[in-house]
Structure 1
């Protein structure tokens, strides 16, 4: 076959890819919201490579282009087989993995499909079986947003990110000119104009006109610069506007809505909270607060906890660490063993779906851009380990699990995070103890993994961060003894920078705790978990 004929066939295949992809619906999206499920993508990719290698050996003379594509993928996924978690612990590797399944693998499939030889059957059979689970373009966009989020939160240098460097760690494959352009374009669409300008300038610095048109880059760069200038002007007007003139403020800020869509901020996530959240994630404390923390930490205690000689804890007391006195936050160490954690994750993984947030006005769960993770729910009756964990929580806290919610297991995605929020519904009359349904009196948060960088749980009022320690659990009360919500417990999950984050939540309801949690002698009684034993 002549080179001209081969080239013609390849262009025909490329055209078919565009047409077929336009009408192909992939059932399972949202890969960017859970790193845990991305482990399946790594294994799928390695199996696809093994199948593809057999095809290449028998058809090497006709499939030189397929071989080049396969070699590029192989270089990008090197070392993934030996340590999947380390491979997925780097956000750039995560981004490239998602993108390969939306670009290169579809191209390879169409090239193989066009061949008339029988050796393609095994590869195509496996490919068609897995294709419905491939990431989609929205996953590539979600991954790009995650990189921007990490850059914004942790003040990462965009040049290091472009070279794939995150906290000194390098990925298997650096970001290409096209990757930099797509991230910059996404930044512009997300109104992150400063980041848009940085990424577009990086594209110009690399200067590959054959890949990205300079005119297209300049068009985006100009638009972002104009938007940034307009934003700066708007901020200056707000600073100089008469704060008593509500009309002016409403015109500048827009009318406030009473219902939060998935693209908007959670109720407690105003600009002040947003900046504090980022500072806490970076461990960026001002000197006066550091001085206060050192003073408070001198009086914090660690002990072996029996909870007044509870039968479950007499022979093996729990390791308790006091984290903060008011609001009272404690950590229990070694709540779950590695074997139990592996078991819980194995049950949860096939059930993971994009995590939702509770809309305080409609009462309905909804997706939100300020919570990037996937979660699954487990009931006590369906597994002995889950049931045992509930019994353990009851022993440690002294609270009844009869009305507690099912165990929620969550896995955070690329740059996964959860913006500042309360675990109780701040719109309800929580002091009405007659109707005590749907009142989360306390939270028991279990860490199912260590996280190398990022992923800290931060509490905005005391201004402290709690880093994930595998097998440990943080416990606090959401309600005062009076039944009122404790806004000092507003907390957030920092974006995962490198590593993989798994957690499990047990939200404990106020109902059935009447005889278990003592009421304060005064209505202003502090939100103590228990008086620390000497």
Structure 2
């Protein structure tokens, strides 16, 4: 069961428009020119900029035809000894690999298996090519030897034999096909587990999310650095091995943004792609052949055009024509750009602004807390906060009291250190791992995958393992609440993926129509969240209105009340899971409901209580 997102969109009340392929306007010239039509995005309410001329008038001009993958010259397969056909063997792959790091690790393991297959293929092919090379050198030597005349009957016989027997064996040999087939079989064995196009696009969106939330420089990210755009701040994360992105990598991220009408991000990433393509232009690189300098210029020019920067679009289109002067579509666009500039002048629209695709309120406060820039000091006197050993009147805790750190009094939030052991955490992750599914949120009476929650989750009953049962008893002891079904939900185990996050939301229901009430045990009165792993950077739990964040503390448990004593939801508990910048974040959530707690946390009619 998902929790409830708030903001301009309340998921309990209604659905967000699907982020599918946008509708396309009617362009009468499109079928004649060949290139596909520009995209129109009716659900993008936050256009990146206010251009000089309204975008609808741009789109009504039939000469302006944008690039898509179908029109690119660089989208070529690498056809070496049949390797280019490998992708044709792959059916639609399992998706959501990007949404949990466990799945990403499995994908890496699968690539290792493919690597071993490729090594075997290369070994067999190398042996085959060595034999061909020896045959070639032998025949070439005979042709270059003046004394090797066919007047010699032995040489004449050898020539006839080669042409009638040896050469057909070379030309019609099945050995290359057999080697390639063995590699194809290796792919087929893993085809259902390999990431697909949706995963690649999800990974691209994750990079843009990290760029935004942590204010990272695109150039820095492309160079393997996690450096904020503000140069006076140290890197947020320094990996042991620096990995740079290729020009084609940057091109794909920019193209994903372009295809959703997000020109703020498409321009930033395509500029970096163009810069990198220029450095390697003319040199053959299989990895970069899939996206060429011309393709990147094409997409970048149209991104600037859609953002209202006609002058920049014209400059890039002219550069494009230097490499592909016969392209009629871009030639027509150049003429139209010149006409627009002559008519309206070189005036710019407002600067590009980052789109708010998920309609998130308090975005700035949320991101500052994730970056560690928000206010962290509590207004209460320090004497009311701090650390203590806690038994909570429970015999269960007498011999080993809980290590309690009070973080806030309003809302009441405490952190229990060393709540689970390393072995217990690994057991919980191991139990949940095979059952992980993409996390969903409640929307009316349905549950759906959403961009503002990227993770996978599984549910564990207390009968799943003695460790789960022991954990339930421990949570009951520290909270003093009844966790027996149906007074609490099963333990939810969550693994975050690439840029995995959960934007600001409440754990409690904000509408009586919420699926939470189907349990017939009231609203969620409290939350226990256990950090089952450490991360290298990011992943904090940010409480937006309380204006502080809690970093990931391995094996610790975070507890807070979702409801006031009078039964109303506590608005100060609005919280978020910040994107994981680096590391493998696992948490376990226990949501406790109102029913069964009547004498454990008595109600109050005081509106302030």
What's the TM-score, normalizing by structure 1?
A: 0.73
State the partner residue of 2:558: 474
Aligned mates of 1:381, 1:126 — CA distance in 2: 39
After TM superposition, give the deviation of residue 144 of structure 1 in Å.
Answer: 0.7
Aligned-partner SS, 2:176: coil
Q: Is the Cα contact below 8 Å between 1:55 and 1:120 reproduced in 2?
A: no
After TM superposition, give the deviation of residue 464 of structure 1 in Å.
Answer: 0.5
The superposition leaves residues 45-82 of structure 1 with CA deviations (integer Å, 9 ceiling, x where unpaired) of 22333344344334324479xxxxxxxxxxxxxxxxxx
Pair 1:149-2:209 in alignment: yes
The superposition leaves residues 63-118 of structure 1 with CA deviations (integer Å, 9 ceiling, x where unpaired) of 79xxxxxxxxxxxxxxxxxxxxxxxxxxxxxxxxxxxxxxxxxxxxxxxx983447
- 2:82 counterpart (6, 9, 13): 13
Q: Is the Cα contact below 8 Å between 2:82 and 2:180 reproduced in 1?
A: no
The superposition leaves residues 166-193 of structure 1 with CA deviations (integer Å, 9 ceiling, x where unpaired) of 3232656421111111111223334443
State the partner residue of 1:281: 370
Aligned mates of 1:130, 1:14 — CA distance in 2: 17
After TM superposition, give the deviation of residue 124 of structure 1 in Å.
Answer: 5.6
State the partner residue of 1:378: 460
Q: Is the Cα contact below 8 Å between 1:436 and 1:510 reproduced in 2?
A: no
- 1:387 counterpart (469, 482, 488): 469
Question: Which of the two has higher C-alpha Rg?
Answer: 2
Q: Is the Cα contact below 8 Å between 1:264 and 1:368 reproduced in 2?
A: no
After TM superposition, give the deviation of residue 43 of structure 1 in Å.
Answer: 2.3
Aligned mates of 2:522, 2:185 — CA distance in 1: 49
Q: Decide whether aligned partners of structure 1 residues 481 and 37 sit closer, same or farther in structure 2, where only a CA change above 3 A counts.
A: same
Aligned-partner SS, 2:397: coil
Aligned-partner SS, 2:82: helix
Aligned mates of 2:399, 2:83 — CA distance in 1: 68
Q: Is the Cα contact below 8 Å between 1:264 and 1:369 reproduced in 2?
A: no
Q: Decide whether aligned partners of structure 1 residues 62 and 141 sit closer, same or farther in structure 2, where only a CA change above 3 A counts.
A: farther
After TM superposition, give the deviation of residue 270 of structure 1 in Å.
Answer: 3.5
Query: What aligned pairs does 1:502-521 form with structure 2 within 5 A after superposition?
Result: 502-520=586-604
State the partner residue of 1:400: 482
Aligned-partner SS, 1:443: strand
Q: Is the Cα contact below 8 Å between 1:437 and 1:509 reproduced in 2?
A: yes
The superposition leaves residues 378-409 of structure 1 with CA deviations (integer Å, 9 ceiling, x where unpaired) of 11112111111111110110000122101110
State the partner residue of 2:102: 36
Aligned-partner SS, 1:44: helix
State the partner residue of 2:157: none
State the partner residue of 1:216: 295
State the partner residue of 1:161: 221
- 2:92 counterpart (25, 29, 48): 25
Pair 1:323-2:388 in alignment: no
The superposition leaves residues 440-490 of structure 1 with CA deviations (integer Å, 9 ceiling, x where unpaired) of 111100001111110000001111000111110100111111111111101
Aligned mates of 2:372, 2:86 — CA distance in 1: 47
Pair 1:115-2:187 in alignment: no
State the partner residue of 2:495: 411
Pair 1:354-2:438 in alignment: yes
Aligned mates of 1:185, 1:54 — CA distance in 2: 35
Q: After superposing the two structures, state which structure 1 stretch, 163-172 or 452-461, moved more.
A: 163-172
Structure scoring higher RCO (CA < 8 A, sep ≥ 6) equals 2
Aligned mates of 1:389, 1:445 — CA distance in 2: 12
State the partner residue of 2:525: 441
Pair 1:304-2:389 in alignment: yes
State the partner residue of 1:495: 579
Query: What aligned pairs does 1:38-187 form with structure 2 within 5 A after superposition?
Result: 38-62=104-128, 115-117=176-178, 121=182, 126-166=186-226, 167-169=237-239, 171=241, 173-187=243-257
Aligned-partner SS, 2:473: helix
Aligned mates of 1:315, 1:63 — CA distance in 2: 72
Pair 1:203-2:203 in alignment: no
Q: Is the Cα contact below 8 Å between 1:453 and 1:499 reproduced in 2?
A: yes
RMSD: 3.2
- 2:429 counterpart (321, 345, 351): 345
What's the TM-score, normalizing by structure 2?
A: 0.64
Pair 1:524-2:585 in alignment: no
Q: Is the Cα contact below 8 Å between 1:280 and 1:463 reproduced in 2?
A: yes
After TM superposition, give the deviation of residue 201 of structure 1 in Å.
Answer: 1.7
Aligned mates of 1:225, 1:299 — CA distance in 2: 55
After TM superposition, give the deviation of residue 127 of structure 1 in Å.
Answer: 3.9
After TM superposition, give the deviation of residue 294 of structure 1 in Å.
Answer: 7.2
After TM superposition, give the deviation of residue 138 of structure 1 in Å.
Answer: 1.0
After TM superposition, give the deviation of residue 518 of structure 1 in Å.
Answer: 2.3
Pair 1:194-2:249 in alignment: no
Q: Is the Cα contact below 8 Å between 2:207 and 2:499 reproduced in 1?
A: yes
Pair 1:270-2:360 in alignment: yes
Aligned mates of 1:126, 1:471 — CA distance in 2: 40
After TM superposition, give the deviation of residue 202 of structure 1 in Å.
Answer: 1.6
Aligned mates of 1:60, 1:336 — CA distance in 2: 54
Aligned-partner SS, 1:115: helix
Q: After superposing the two structures, state which structure 1 stretch, 324-333 or 198-207, moved more.
A: 198-207
State the partner residue of 2:418: 334
Aligned mates of 1:284, 1:169 — CA distance in 2: 22
Aligned mates of 1:282, 1:62 — CA distance in 2: 56
Aligned-partner SS, 1:59: helix
Aligned-partner SS, 1:164: coil
After TM superposition, give the deviation of residue 31 of structure 1 in Å.
Answer: 0.5
Aligned mates of 1:157, 1:400 — CA distance in 2: 48
Aligned mates of 1:414, 1:226 — CA distance in 2: 31
After TM superposition, give the deviation of residue 335 of structure 1 in Å.
Answer: 1.3
Q: Decide whether aligned partners of structure 1 residues 14 and 51 sit closer, same or farther in structure 2, where only a CA change above 3 A counts.
A: closer
